[in-house]
Structure 1
Amino acid sequence: MHHITLLGRPGCHLCEDAREVIARVADELGVTWEEIDIDSSGELRDKYGEMIPVTLVDGVQHDFWRVSEDRLRAALA
């Protein structure tokens, strides 16, 4: 079973867009997902600070800045 992680931060408009796409796709496909604030970890902030939102599928970076619904669905198929 797949798992999606959204790395972002509060107040990020691109993160809000990504959250909507991820929630919709995850719900339709029965996939679990979580959201992590990159500011909760210095390591995450240093690695992804200018790339948010970042989408991980099964712990592997899948997208950043924008989430393509088609690409996400393909990765989860």
Structure 2
Amino acid sequence: MNIKYYSRPGCGLCEEGILMLKLVQEDVPFTIEEINIEKDDLLHERFMLMIPVVEKDGEIIQYGALDYVTLLDGIAI
């Protein structure tokens, strides 16, 4: 299973979010595809006010302040 993680460099919330996502990864096997929104104008426009954003199968699981329970529920389904 592949999880997309949209973020940008220098984003403190994004740094915290990837740590939370890696905690969930310890309980549920999946790969994390980190995507820098600053490298794509469309992604930057779409997600700049939402990052970090966690997406599975084209659906957003959670964005902003990420928490373990919501991520686990969204990824484990």
**TM-score scaled by length of structure 2:** 0.88
Q: Is 50-59 or 13-22 further displaced after alignment?
A: 50-59
- Rounded to whole Å, the distance in 2 between the matches of 1:59 and 1:17 is 22
- Rounded to whole Å, the distance in 1 between the matches of 2:31 and 2:3 is 6
**Alpha-carbon RMSD:** 1.2
Aligned to 1:24, the other structure's residue is in SS state helix
Q: CA deviation at 1:31?
A: 1.1
**TM-score scaled by length of structure 1:** 0.88
Question: What runs of 5+ residues in structure 1 fail to find an aligned partner?
Answer: none
- Rounded to whole Å, the distance in 1 between the matches of 2:26 and 2:16 is 16
Percent sequence identity is: 30
How many residues in Structure 1 have an aligned counterpart in Structure 2? 76
Q: CA deviation at 1:28?
A: 2.5
Q: Does the alignment pair 1:36 with 2:10?
A: no
Amino acid paired to 2:10: G
